[in-house]
Amino acid sequence: MSKPAYITDQDILKKITPADAIRITKQAFVDYEAKRNKMPEKIYLDLPEYNGDFRAMPAYVPRYNIAGIKWVNSHKENPALGLPSVMATLLINNPKTGELIAMMDATALTCLRTGAVGAIATELLTKIENPNIAFIGCGKQAEYQLKCIQEVKKINHINVYDRSNNQSEIFAKNIKHNLGELRIRESVKAACQTANIIITTTPGTKAIVMKDDIPERCLIIAIGADAEGKQELDHSIIMDATLIVDDITQASHSGELNTAITLKKIKRNNISATLGDLLSGKKITDNNRIVVDSTGLAIQDLALAGFYLSKV
């Protein structure tokens, strides 16, 4: 077999804008809700000896006539080694024959499609014109959340908190904020208290955001928890919020809701809707507090990859 095309992060960033990522991700959620995509449950290769894991995420996306798999790691100690925590590769195949069509760096793709979810949640679930946003965790994911949300809202004010002050400063430097004011805060509470939207992108297994830290009314977009045992929000926040997820099964097993469900603080049927439901027209009753649990779906990755291939 001849060597298949290898597509780099730079190739992806040249061809897929945040606006593209939002549009294609919406389409993928709607297609998934309508059962037009296939996505078996992802599996984990746990390597506690390295404080890390790998995930295998296969999917079939007929809209772009591709099947494939994302293979992605999560290694908490990487930033100290000068490496991203999360790095990903995609293999893309012809679904009819199984032939390999392309191999792809999927690190940038993962940032884009995760950022797109933040933007979609913001568009669907906040009526405020110029929201204040708090970022808890200031790594690459936070940067892409901001890039994508700027596509759908003009942001008034940004507060950021990271346990590493250095990381907060890198974030502040990296983003081009023709978007009002940005302040680095010393605590979660100081970052969150005036926020309309709170975006959490931390990798821990213990709640970092407490009920006292946040305003009565806010939209929380929880990105960080993506494996069993991971958690960012105190259960008391989840217990009286309207709960929106990207995928019910995945959120229950490995998303922000997983520990609350395991400990029976909430049940799966406390989940109000998926993003696909909302995009397909489902309405939810108004609530002061909404939590969006984004776990990351292989159909998002494959759809963006298919979009890329359709453009080149």
Indicate which residues carry an active-site annotation. 70
* Closer residue to a copy of itself (CB): 72 or 182: 72
Interface ranges with a copy of itself (CB under 8 A): 1, 3, 6, 8-9, 38, 40-47, 50, 52, 54, 56, 58-60, 67, 69, 71, 73-75, 78, 81, 83, 86-87, 89, 91, 93, 95-100, 103, 105, 107
Q: What is the smallest separation between the CB atom of 68 and a copy of itself, expressed in angstroms?
A: 8
Q: Which residues contact 153 (CB under 8 A, 6 or more apart)?
A: 122, 123, 126, 129, 130, 131
The two counts, helices (H) then strands (E), for the chain are 11, 14
**Closest Cα partner for 55 from 119, 106, 96?**
106
CB of 75 to a copy of itself, least distance (A): 5
Query: Shortest CA distance to 69 belongs to which of 107, 96, 32, 106?
Result: 106
Return the number of the residue (99 or 212) whose C-beta is nearest a copy of itself: 99
Report yes or no: 85 and 74 within 8 Å, Cβ to Cβ: yes
CB of 89 to a copy of itself, least distance (A): 6
Helices (H), the chain: 9-15, 18-33, 107-125, 140-149, 165-174, 188-192, 235-239, 248-254, 258-262, 275-279, 298-311
CB of 173 to a copy of itself, least distance (A): 22
Q: Please, which residue, 59 or 119, has the CB nearer to a copy of itself?
A: 59
Q: Closest CB to a copy of itself among 81 and 263?
A: 81
